[in-house]
Amino acid sequence: MNSRIKKALILSAAFGTTAGALSSVRAHHSQAAYFDFDQEVEIEGVVSEFDFRNPHAYMYVDVEQGDGEVVTWRIQFGNATGLRRRGWTPDLVKPGVRVTVRGRPSRDADEHAMAGAEVILPDGSELGSELER
């Protein structure tokens, strides 16, 4: 096989791989479909689990309602890589810690979930997060 054909095949393969990777990145779903970015909610409760992973990290917070019932809220964050860039680590928020969380509520009124915006720890320090719309 001559070198011109080899070069054309290599460039074609590289272009196809790059185009495929870019299309999968663009295909990521919008958070605005699941969460209402025009509203903000705040909850206070005790962390029952912090799942620091990709493609999204999750924190589960047990919140006591006015009637004494405990409801677990699922807070969705961006990916672990992005959180690490903001100083988060897998052991930063341990189960049993009381936190306040401000974020965007689920569009489903029956679901206790939000897109996490910030977590306030007992010492008053704030952990910021970002989620794409």
The two tokens of residue 36 are 């209402």
Does the CA dihedral 103-108-112-115 come out positive or negative? Answer: negative
Structure tokens at 52: 């620091």
Six token digits for residue 125: 């320090």
Domain 31-128 is classified in which CATH homologous superfamily?
A: Nucleic acid-binding proteins (2.40.50.140)
Walk along the chain (133 residues) and give the pLDDT tens digit of each residue.
666 766 655 656 555 554 444 444 444 556 666 788 899 999 999 999 999 999 999 999 999 999 999 999 999 998 899 999 988 999 999 999 999 999 999 888 778 888 877 999 999 999 887 654 4
